[in-house]
Chains A and B, each alone.
Chain A
Amino acid sequence: MDKHIHHDPNDLLPIGTPRHWRSLDERAETPEARQAAHDEFKPGAMDPEDRPSTNLSRRTFLTLVGATTALAATVACDKKGRSTVVPYTKRPQEIVPGVANHYASTFPEGRRAYSVLVKTREGRPIHITGNDEHPRLKGKTSPRALSDVLRLYDPDRLRLPKISGRPSSWVEAEQTLVAALAAAKREAKPVLLLTGATTSPTRRALLKELQGAVPTLRHLAWEPSLGDAAQEGALAAYGTAVDIRPRLEKAKVILSLGADFLNGDDPEAIAAFTAKRRLSEPVATMNRLWVLEGAMSLTGTNADQRVPVRSSRLAALAFALAKELGGTANVTVPAGLPASEGISTETWTSLVHDLKAAGREAVVLCGDAMPAEAHVAAALLNNLLGSQALDIRATESLATLKDLEAVRQDMAAGKYAAALLWDVNPAYAFPKAADWKDAFGKVPTRAWIGLIEDESAAQCTLVLPEHHWLEAWGDYLDDSVLTLQQPTIGALYTSKQGEDFLLTLLKGLGATKAPDYHAYLQARWQKEVQPAGSFASFDRFFQSALHDGLVRLEGKATTAPTFKSTALADMAARAFASQPSGFELLLRPGTQVLDGRYANSSWLQELPDPITKATWGNPLSLSVADAQALGVKDGDMVELEAAGTKLRHPVILQPGQAKGTLALALGYGRKTGGVARGVGFNAFPLLALGTSDPNLQFGTKLSKARGHMDLPVTQSHHRMEGRDLVRSFSLAEFTKEAEHGHAHIEHATLYPEQSFPDHKWGMVIDLSACIGCSACSLACQSENNIPSVGPDQITKGREMHWMRIDRYYEGEIENPKVVHQPMLCQHCDAAPCENVCPVNATNHSPDGLNQMAYNRCVGTRYCANNCPYKVRRFNFLEFTADKIEPASLVYNPEVTVRPRGVMEKCTFCVQRIQDVKIRAKGDNRPIKDGEVQPACAAACPSHAIVFGDLKDPNSEVSKLAKSKRGYKVLEEVGARPAITYLADLKNPAIVSAHEGATHE
Chain B
Amino acid sequence: MESKNRREILGSVAALLAAPLVLGKEAVVDTFFKTKAEAEPEPRLAITPPAHSVKRRG
- Taking a contact as CB atoms under 8 Å apart, the answer to whether B23 and A65 are in contact is yes
**B23 with A486: CB separation less than 8 A:** no
Residue from A67, A104, A124 having most chain B Cβ neighbours under 10 A: A67
Establish whether residues B45 and A889, one from each chain, have CB atoms under 8 Å apart when the complex forms: yes
Report the separation of the CA atoms of residues A99 and B55 in the bound assembly, to the nearest whole angstrom.
Answer: 13
Given A71-B24, A80-B38, A123-B48, residue A549 in contact with residue B56 (CB < 8 A): yes
B11 to chain A, nearest CB (A): 7
Residue A532 CB within 8 A of the other chain: no
Chain B residues, CB < 8 A from A80: 30, 38
User: Are B45 and A488 in contact (CB-based, < 8 A)?
Assistant: no
Q: Is the Cβ of A487 less than 8 Å from the Cβ of B15?
A: no
Chain A residues contacting B9 (CB-CB under 8 Å) are: none
Which residues of the other chain, B, contact A96 by a CB distance below 8 angstroms? Answer: 58
- Name the one of A63, A92, A491, A889 contacting B15, with C-beta atoms under 8 angstroms: A63
Q: Which residues of A contact B52 (CB under 8 A)?
A: 486-487, 518
B27 touches A67 (CB 8 A): no
A38 to B52, CA, bound (A): 59
List the A side residues contacting B54 at CB < 8 Å: 103, 486, 543, 546-547
Q: Are A885 and B19 in contact (CB under 8 A)?
A: no
- B55 A68 Cβ-Cβ under 8 A: no
Partner of B53, one of A486, A548, A885: A486
Indicate if the CB atoms of A490 and B47 lie closer than 8 Å.
yes
Give B24-58 as 1s and 0s: 1 = Cβ < 8 Å from A's Cβ atoms.
10011011000000100010011111111111111
B-contacting residues, A279-301, CB 8 Å = none
Among residues of B, the one whose C-beta sits closest to the C-beta of A518 is: B52
Q: Complex Cα distance A67/B27, Å?
A: 12
Please name all residues of chain A whose beta carbon is closer than 8 Å to the beta carbon of B23 when the two chains form the complex: 64-65, 68
B1 near A: Cβ within 8 Å? no
Give the nearest-CB partner of A93 in chain B. Answer: B49
Q: Are A71 and B20 in contact (CB under 8 A)?
A: yes
The CB with the most chain B CB atoms within 10 A, among A64, A78, A92, A94, is that of: A64
Beta-carbon contacts of A483-498 to B below 8 Å, as 1s and 0s? 0001111111000000
- Closest chain-A Cβ to B31's Cβ sits at a distance in Å of 5
The verdict on A689 contacting chain B, using a C-beta distance below 8 Å, is no
Q: Are B24 and A78 in contact (CB under 8 A)?
A: no
| Contact of A74 with B by CB under 8 A | yes
A78–B28 Cα gap in the complex (Å)? 12
B48 to chain A, nearest CB (A): 3
Chain B residue numbers with a CB within 8 Å of A117 are 56
Residues of A460-485 at the interface with B, using a CB-CB cut-off of 8 Å, are 471
In the assembly, what is the distance between CA of A738 and CA of B19, in Å? 72
Whole-angstrom CA separation of A84 from B28 in the bound complex = 26
State whether B45 touches A492 (Cβ < 8 A).
Answer: yes
- Does A336 interact with chain B (Cβ within 8 Å)? no
Residues of B within 8 A of A (CB): 11-12, 15-16, 18-20, 22-24, 27-28, 30-31, 38, 42, 45-58
A901 to chain B: closest CB distance in Å? Answer: 18
Quick one: given A67-B15, A74-B31, A487-B50, are A102 and B58 in contact (CB under 8 Å)? yes
Closest to B32 in A: A74
* A contacts, CB < 8 Å to B: 63-68, 71-72, 74-75, 78, 80, 92, 94-96, 99-104, 117, 122-124, 471, 486-492, 518, 543, 546-549, 885-886, 889
- Which listed residue, A68, A103, A122, A471, touches B19 by the CB 8 Å rule? A68
Nearest-CB residue, chain A, relative to B55:
A101
Cα A549 to Cα B58 with chains together (Å): 15
Q: Please provide the 8 A-B residue pairs with the shortest distance between their CB atoms, ordered closest to farther.
A: A490-B48, A67-B19, A487-B50, A546-B54, A101-B58, A68-B24, A68-B19, A64-B19
List 17 interface pairs A-B (beta carbons < 8 Å), by A numbering: A67-B19, A68-B19, A68-B20, A75-B27, A80-B38, A94-B55, A102-B58, A103-B55, A124-B47, A487-B50, A488-B50, A489-B47, A492-B45, A543-B54, A547-B55, A547-B56, A548-B56
Query: Smallest CB–CB gap between A415 and chain B, Å?
Result: 42
Interchain CB contact under 8 A, A95 and B49? yes
If the complex has contacts A66-B19, A94-B55, are A486 and B27 also in contact, measured as CB distance less than 8 A? no
- Verify B53–A487 contact, CB threshold 8 A: yes
Whether A72 contacts B50 by the Cβ 8 Å rule is: no
Contact A486 B45 (CB under 8 A): no
Are the C-beta atoms of B27 and A74 separated by less than 8 Å?
yes
A490 near B19: Cβ-Cβ < 8 Å: no
Do A486 and B50 have beta carbons less than 8 Å apart? yes
Q: Which residues of A contact B19 (CB under 8 A)?
A: 64-68, 71
Of chain A, the residue at the smallest CB distance from B13 is: A67
- Inside 8 A of B47's CB, which chain A residues have their CB? 122-124, 489-490, 492, 889
Decide: A886 and B45 in contact? CB cutoff 8 A.
yes
Assuming A123-B47, A489-B49, what are 11 further A-B pairs, CB within 8 angstroms? A64-B18, A67-B18, A67-B20, A94-B55, A103-B55, A489-B47, A490-B46, A490-B49, A490-B51, A492-B47, A546-B53
